[in-house]
Amino acid sequence: MPFTIEINAADQSHKPDRARLKKAVRLILQDAGIKTAEISIAIVTDARMQELNRQYLQHDYSTDVLSFLLDDNPQEKSLEGQIIASSDFAAREAINYGWTSDDELFLYIIHGTLHLVGHDDTTPVAKQTMRAAEAAYLRQFGLEHRFE
């Protein structure tokens, strides 16, 4: 399957497991029936995430992950999207969950990819469905998360 997944780690203090990130994104895309995709992943600092959040969502704070569906063609089962995750946010949150910042960042990429393939978390039911999907993908990589 022709998936192009590019990872740009602008935050040089964090070196993500690129192979694991790509494998998870491919798995989610395949499970969603996507045949072709171009996905760009950016790992950034909190400061950069706050700038992006302010620019695109008019929120003046940092967040864990943003995802943007740039192009979607359901007939061709193709999509193009971007996922931006904060390594600073991941480092802080990882402590609360007793796992590594890389694992927390991995969760953010799973979350962002699920958004790209159509999952939503704006209602309690949708959020529960998304959390179940996240947990299922994490388990496939030997990880468990205590969602609040």
Question: Structure pTM?
Answer: 0.92
**pLDDT at 73 exceeding the cut of 90:** no
DSSP state, 58?
Answer: -
Provide DSSP, 43-55: EE-HHHHHHHHHH
Q: Which domains, from first to last, does the chain contain?
A: 3-140 (3.40.390.30)
- Cα–Cα nearest to 65, from 109, 99, 24: 109
Tokens of 148: 């609040």
pLDDT of residue 32: 95
Token couple for 124: 């309690």
Determine the residue type at 107: L
**Average pLDDT for residues 20-37, to the nearest whole number?**
96
One DSSP character per residue, 78-147 reads EEEEEEEEEHHHHHHHHHHHTS-HHHHHHHHHHHHHHHHTT---SSHHHHHHHHHHHHHHHHHTT-----
CB 135 within 8 A of CB 147: yes
> pLDDT digit string (tens) for 35-70?
999 999 999 999 999 999 888 888 888 889 999 999
3-state secondary structure of 10: coil
